Structure 1
């Protein structure tokens, strides 16, 4: 009886300029048992909306300025993703990059659905309870709203060994 080959997987990894993103990608590369040349990492970066003060009296920002600012943000996002893409390509994994504009919580969920992802890997910045309450946690939002499994990679505490809890 011939073994059936598993279909290629698509794993979304949320990337920003935090160490949590670096740890999330590293976790995915080390733990997801990705198959070179078959599985795809989809790197997603979210840039915030342009802060256009058009609603305040005396301020006007043209549509052209908003579009130019949006393009600058997209360019910055793709530039950031290039170094992460190189890490994927070192392991001969297929890699796609996407830059979204908007709220990171919504953008990551949307990108994962568009990519038909099998899983999403996000870093956790470890914000305190108050900041999480006010701003909301991107990782928690994704865990509750993405239709596929979400892996939240907690920050690695420097100087502390990795620990595992035995399962009885």
Structure 2
């Protein structure tokens, strides 16, 4: 069996991402690996829902970004508490498109494995898997474990 040293775990606070973290913790504990938690704020998707607000409203955009950052850092902190103290953990907050951002973090931190939920809190776009997990499976440079 391959030894994993760094496991990337994307999270959005959903039940499936919590289940993914449980699996990642088991693997990390047994292989003495570290865990890199990733939260990606997809601000473009959120702001596009405000089609009634003029683009000149910079305050709204700025406030949405601040709220998303606060939410993301809160989720990362909550998930970090679920990881035993003997497992090294890093938390990464990113802004961008979730699939490519997760892969960018995996590359930057030299991930040996990505463990993620099959569906998150976003709209369902895939038949069996969410669009982000499907994207990551298709493009990842390392193995991906999808947790239902």
TM-score by length of 2: 0.78
What are the Cα deviations for residues 73-98 of structure 1, in whole angstroms up to 9, with x where unaligned? 1111010111110111x242111111
DSSP 3-state at the match of 2:55: coil
Residue 14 in structure 1 maps to residue 14 in structure 2 = no
State whether residues 8 and 113 of structure 2, in contact with CA within 8 Å, keep that contact through their aligned partners in structure 1.
yes
**CA displacement, residues 28-64 of structure 1 (integer Å, 9 cap, x when unaligned):** 11234232xxx321101112214158987x8233445
C-alpha distance 75-31 of structure 1, shift in aligned 2 (>3 A): same
Pairs aligned (count): 140
Mark the runs of 5 or more structure 2 residues left unpaired by the alignment: none
User: After superposition, what is the alpha-carbon deviation per residue over 1:123-168, rounded to whole angstroms, capped at 9, x for unaligned?
Assistant: 1129xxx8416x96211211110111111112xxxxxxxxxxxxxx
Q: Distance in 1 between matches of 2:95 and 2:137?
A: 20
In structure 2, the CA distance between the partners of 1:62 and 1:53, relative to structure 1 (3 Å rule), is farther
2:92 to 94, 98, 109: 98
Question: What secondary structure sits across from 1:120 in the alignment?
Answer: strand
User: Considering only CA atoms, is the larger Rg found in Structure 1 or Structure 2?
Assistant: 1
Q: 1:151 to 1:54 in 2, by over 3 A?
A: closer
Instruction: Say if 1:84 and 1:52 are closer, same or farther in 2 by CA, change over 3 A.
Output: same
| 1:34 and 2:31 are equivalent in the alignment | yes
Higher relative contact order (CA 8 A, sep 6+): 2
SS at match of 1:51: helix
**RMSD (CA atoms):** 2.9
Give unmatched runs, 5+ long, in structure 1: 1-6, 155-168
CA deviation digits over 1:10-30, x for unaligned, max 9?
110011121100100001112
